[in-house]
Chains A and B, each alone.
Chain A
Amino acid sequence: QQQVKQSPQSLIVQKGGISIINCAYENTAFDYFPWYQQFPGKGPALLIAIRPDVSEKKEGRFTISFNKSAKQFSLHIMDSQPGDSATYFCAARTTRGNQFYFGTGTSLTVIP
């Protein structure tokens, strides 16, 4: 059973456009929601994260929007650049045990 559902599987965006990736979860025991960025041949790197008591967090061009009642969160990449082309994973962590569950990943391609 997929604890964290992520969509879309792939995304193509023009340079300068907005990339939006969505995730949904069911387990109310999750208390931390990070996004990871992974380039080919590299390990996932923490990009930005949010706690459920906050509805939005922004770091540069990257914003997480969090809807606790809907159990959904999304990553917005503003002014998308070709260098943003990578695979993005959302994740959720359980309150106990520090166990992380990952979404299935979104392959983002930003076209120059």
Chain B
Amino acid sequence: SAVISQKPSRDICQRGTSLTIQCQVDSQVTMMFWYRQQPGQSLTLIATANQGSEATYESGFVIDKFPISRPNLTFSTLTVSNMSPEDSSIYLCSVGTSGSRELFFGEGSRLTVL
């Protein structure tokens, strides 16, 4: 299994600001994803981070609000832009490898917007 490190682990932010979350994997992975988990809720896929190209966003999520970068096979960032209290959530980086069905998660970044 891959070891996934996320930074920051938690943060408290002011309304209207932006925060970038980093995801570092200890090995090259084919697929990287960003999920959101709102308090007491399930996991919702935000987007698939594509290496060297624009991310693929799920319905309800847009690039202007959640810009994603993936410069190589081990690193990705998710930015939460112009934050509002409704963005308070845990944001999870997850990875999958070709040839394996498994999906692994980082520890998550807990974001609180005041």
Seen from chain A, the residues whose Cβ lies within 8 Å of a Cβ on chain B are 31-32, 34, 36, 41-46, 49, 89, 91, 93, 98-100, 102-105
Contacts and interface: CB of A to CB of B under 8 A. Distances in A.
Contact of B92 (A32, A44, A98, A105): A44
B42 interface: yes
Interface of B: 1, 4, 31, 40-43, 45, 92, 96, 101-108, 110
8 contacts: A34-B102, A34-B103, A36-B105, A89-B43, A93-B101, A93-B103, A98-B101, A105-B40
Contacts of B105: 36, 43-45
Contact of B101 (A44, A49, A105): A49
A104 B107 contact: no
Nearest to B97: A98
